[in-house]
A and B are shown apart, each in its own frame.
Chain A
Amino acid sequence: MQNIDNMPTFNLKINNETHTVEADMDTPLLWVLRDQIDLVGTKYGCGIGQCGACTVHVDGTATRSCLLQVSQAEGMNITTIEGLSEHGDHPVQQAWKEVDVPQCGYCQAGQIMTASAFLDKNPNPTETQIRNAMHGNICRCAAYNNIEEAVKVAAEKLS
């Protein structure tokens, strides 16, 4: 067993709480969230920024947590799916429920985080803008029609 006492320490601001974690500098935020802080809503899908399952908000911007090293995340405001709203009732979450979007559900936290950051900046999107904004998030179950519909429903709620 290796000595892990000399690991650097990081203070992370996640969902308005400060967490102190010990981790190697290069550890992606994704794994710190999942394995160390027990926030498993953020999902691992590809690890290379291709699928969007790991999307969180960093200072309000949708960010791939599999590509963000923990050392770069210090001092930033990080929001995960667990912190998107206190009671699970963010307009995007409501819309997801109304439309009954998920199939297996695995990609959906990432979809919701992408959609919510996008609508924050563009509350009145066109269909093409929605399709472009969501193009980076893969849904293997292909619940795309529902996702698109739910983003529209959420936009209505927000505007």
Chain B
Amino acid sequence: MATSKQMTFSRRSFLKSSALASGGMIIGFNLFNACKSDVKPSIDLSKLNYNDFNAFIKISPEGKVTIFAPNPEIGQGVKTSMPMLIAEELDVAWKDVYVVQGDLDTKNFTRQLAGGSQSIRLGWEPLRQTGATAKQMLVNAAAARWGVDASECNAKLGVITNANGETLGYGDVVSEAALLEVPENVTLKDSKDFTIIGQGKGNVDIDKIITGKPLFGLDYKEEGMLYATILRPPAFGQILDSFDAAAAKAIPGVIDVITIGEKAKAYIEDGPNSWTARFNDHEKVVVIANNTWNAIKGKKAIKATWKEESPLEDTALHDKKLNAILDGNTFSTMRSDGNVKKAFANADTVFERTYESPFLPHSCMEPMNFFASVTPDKVHLVGPTQTPAEAAKIVSKLLDRDIDDVHVEMTRMGGGFGRRLYNDFVCEAVEISNTIKKPVKMVSTREDDIATGIYRPAKKYRIAASLKEGEITGYHLKESNIDSNMYGLIPHFFPAGAIENYQVDTANYRSNISTGAWRAPYTNFLASAEQSFFDELAEEMGVDRIQLHMDLLDKAKNNPDPKIDYSPERLQGVLKLVVDKSNWGKAEEGVYQGLSVYYCHNTHVAEVADIVMENGLPLVKKVTCAVDCGVVVNPLGALNQIKGGIIDGIGHAMYSDFGFNNGIPQSNNFNTYQLIRMGQTPKVDVHFIESDMAPTGLGEPTLPPVGAAVANAIYKATGKRLRKQPYMSNMNVEETVLG
């Protein structure tokens, strides 16, 4: 079972130390890899060698600790929780720890990607080892100075004490420690001795955020920097035919109007392709101006004509294609146990339902943007990306330049949700700067951001179960998707292993609309579909919903299957906890409850939604959530992510609708595209399973299940099964249309 696996890695020389030129010690470490034998951290802080190490700890002669944190921050709090792991084992006061976002300038960086809720899970052991090793070096230095054995010394809160009660601060011995051998065998603390892990630590950028200091990509400025906006085709399937820039050029502050696109086109010929539709528009018109507003005005003044390059698609077409897939036989099978066909043939009843969800834009609060300065000696890039190393790689290919010329500096990100995995905005900024030979910031308007996005595609799930003598004998799930299919371990999630005859099939339709990952890819709707289905199935079988799940999980426990990717015990644990904490089955008059329990992104979650009807419409009042995420490293950060994931999930399941008409997105701003607002939000009540298992991520796993919890509650309130998201736009759908 993947969740309980301990990280193993060769500790041998995964970190190196040097004495800093400015005094103090610098430790470079290479998470997940051994360091090259001949490298040492740079002794000059301004030239940290990120090519050899992916993060650094500096300990100053004053005993202050600075961690150059490697992971980009997209609201997941990893910039806080990852340093907590180091600080815990290093045994320093949290107030003496500073965190600096390192520039990413690297070819070797392995896990610089913020996504997949993986950062904290993969860093759990190595980050603690790093802290513990640094502490041991300091202790060894102090012991050497005292002429005693290191085992007689103790370190706490930045102070080393020997058997005689003499003390030395970390800062006092740091210069000597820097010259010592890196010890090989350090022991990690027992979880009951943690003083930082498990304590709520606030966001490290909090002071800057609440006082409006520059932090985000859109805030970045450089001397002589120009601003650029890009005019892209209004419809997917169209390309530029001609344009007239005279009116735009007449606007004061507009400096030039150029086109880009040729280089990107050359690049995508062998590039990844789920998002290439965006590059296929061949040529884009770019307005260069002295400030953002003039660049926006200039863009509006361009008169362009467009021609159709491929058919203009709309939502009705997608619907038809997805249905045809469900009815057809183009599927590939992702997992198959037993014989579903036979089970269905022998069944007393086959129960089948279909669930569907629309396209969704990411709507990051900070629209896409990037700064680029392409000069003969280097390519300087600054901005918000979830994949900085990938950005450097693409740009070096795009410009045909050595990767060492490309420097990526990361800013804080105003949201990612998967959108900033794709570096299309980096390529655009680079092409513009390369053309005009000036530093430039490419800025998207909200309309660009929503209407020329890389969307979560619309999809449908058809799920069928065969029942015989009151037992579930078979389970068959078909995924009908656009552009891509579920992958990896998803087919091995619950109920895999719990039902003897089990099959997951998938097929897709290729669209010319660009699609990509969106917070909790695939599971973000799959969980809603499956957990709504089980609610319906329990009703059909006339059994208790909780009991049905407990029994299925017992079956999975009793037939251990090494391939399944969840823990039946842990799922039962969260299920019991949520039942206990949510007042399940005992809700007060007028409150209707719905349940959902799910495992994804390495974390086990159960949720109960309490809804009331207000003016004939459902409103979610409260969500009770039970989470098993192993050790809770930073409860404050964890709560933020859990609550945010749940409310985000409710928003998109209930309110956010998105489709296409003749290739044109039906909305391009928040007046027509609805995001959840405060008046629609429930109170989220979170309960953790106490655990000393390795921590698992929380950026994603609480989002997927909540849609079903809401739909199941709405059914109790209205008698209406909602199988199509967003629920509020589809409240009146006749049940006969679906299922």
Residues of chain A at the chain B interface (Cβ within 8 Å): 1-4, 6-7, 23-24, 27-28, 31, 34-36, 38-48, 50-51, 53, 80-82, 84, 88, 93, 96-97, 100, 102-109, 112, 131-132, 134-148
Given A104-B412, A105-B215, A109-B212, does the pair A142, B252 have CB atoms closer than 8 Å? no
A32 → chain B closest CB, angstroms:
8
Residues of B close to A24: CB separation below 8 A: 252-253, 293-294, 297
Given contacts A6-B252, A24-B253, A46-B446, 15 further A-B contacts (CB under 8 A): A31-B292, A40-B221, A42-B212, A43-B365, A44-B446, A50-B671, A82-B211, A84-B211, A88-B207, A97-B207, A104-B365, A105-B75, A109-B210, A134-B678, A137-B678
Residues of A close to B214: CB separation below 8 A: 40
**B511 contacts the other chain (Cβ, under 8 Å)?**
no
B206 touches which of A41, A100, A106, A142 (Cβ 8 Å): A100
* Closest A residue to B290 using CB positions: A4
**B643 contacts the other chain (Cβ, under 8 Å)?**
yes
Given A105-B205, A106-B414, A140-B364, does the pair A100, B669 have CB atoms closer than 8 Å? no
Report B242-260 CB contacts with A as 1/0, cut-off 8 Å: 0000000111111110000
A97 touches B74 (CB 8 A): no
Residues of A close to B216: CB separation below 8 A: 43, 106
**B93 contacts the other chain (Cβ, under 8 Å)?**
no
A117, B294: Cα distance in complex, Å: 31
**B200 contacts the other chain (Cβ, under 8 Å)?**
yes
Residues of A close to B77: CB separation below 8 A: 103
**B213 contacts the other chain (Cβ, under 8 Å)?**
yes
Given A45-B365, A97-B210, A106-B414, does the pair A132, B679 have CB atoms closer than 8 Å? yes
A50 touches B74 (CB 8 A): no
A142 touches B647 (CB 8 A): yes
B212 touches A82 (CB 8 A): yes
Report B643-670 CB contacts with A as 1/0, cut-off 8 Å: 1111110010000000000000000011
A44 touches B636 (CB 8 A): no
* Residue from the set B213, B255, B416, B417 with the largest chain A CB neighbour count within 10 Å: B213
A142 touches B681 (CB 8 A): yes
Residues facing A in B219-262 (CB within 8 A) are: 219, 221, 227, 249-256
The SS class assigned to the A binding surface is: loop
Residues of chain B at the chain A interface (Cβ within 8 Å): 73-77, 200, 202-203, 205-207, 209-216, 218-219, 221, 227, 249-256, 290-294, 296-297, 363-367, 412-417, 445-446, 636-637, 640-641, 643-648, 651, 669-671, 675-679, 681, 683-684
A147, B643: Cα distance in complex, Å: 12
Given A100-B202, A100-B636, A141-B644, does the pair A47, B446 have CB atoms closer than 8 Å? yes
A142 touches B212 (CB 8 A): no
A36, B293: Cα distance in complex, Å: 11
B210 touches A96 (CB 8 A): yes
A103 touches B640 (CB 8 A): yes
* Closest A residue to B679 using CB positions: A135
Given A31-B291, A104-B415, does the pair A143, B210 have CB atoms closer than 8 Å? no
A31 touches B293 (CB 8 A): yes
B641 touches A103 (CB 8 A): yes
A51 → chain B closest CB, angstroms:
6
B5 → chain A closest CB, angstroms:
29
B365 touches A139 (CB 8 A): yes
A104 touches B75 (CB 8 A): yes
A4 touches B212 (CB 8 A): no
* Residue from the set A27, A47, A132, A140 with the largest chain B CB neighbour count within 10 Å: A140
**8 sample A-B contacts, Cβ–Cβ < 8 Å, listed by A number:** A24-B297, A31-B293, A100-B637, A135-B677, A142-B644, A142-B681, A144-B676, A144-B678
* Closest B residue to A42 using CB positions: B212
* Closest B residue to A97 using CB positions: B206
Residues of A close to B250: CB separation below 8 A: 2
B218 touches which of A44, A107, A137 (Cβ 8 Å): A44
A146, B643: Cα distance in complex, Å: 9
Given A104-B365, A105-B414, A140-B363, does the pair A46, B290 have CB atoms closer than 8 Å? no
A129, B520: Cα distance in complex, Å: 34
B677 touches which of A28, A44, A84, A138 (Cβ 8 Å): A138
B95 → chain A closest CB, angstroms:
14
Residues of A close to B363: CB separation below 8 A: 140
* Closest B residue to A148 using CB positions: B678
* Residue from the set A28, A47, A108, A144 with the largest chain B CB neighbour count within 10 Å: A144
Residues of B close to A138: CB separation below 8 A: 365, 670, 675, 677
Given A38-B221, A46-B669, does the pair A106, B643 have CB atoms closer than 8 Å? no
B644 touches A143 (CB 8 A): yes
B293 touches A27 (CB 8 A): yes
Residues of A close to B255: CB separation below 8 A: 1-2
A39 → chain B closest CB, angstroms:
7
A141 touches which of B210, B253, B293, B648 (Cβ 8 Å): B648
A4 touches B252 (CB 8 A): yes
A81, B203: Cα distance in complex, Å: 19
Given A2-B250, A7-B252, A104-B365, does the pair A88, B210 have CB atoms closer than 8 Å? yes
Residues of B close to A82: CB separation below 8 A: 211-212
B647 → chain A closest CB, angstroms:
4
B595 → chain A closest CB, angstroms:
21
B411 → chain A closest CB, angstroms:
11
B687 → chain A closest CB, angstroms:
15
Given A53-B365, A100-B636, A131-B678, does the pair A80, B212 have CB atoms closer than 8 Å? yes
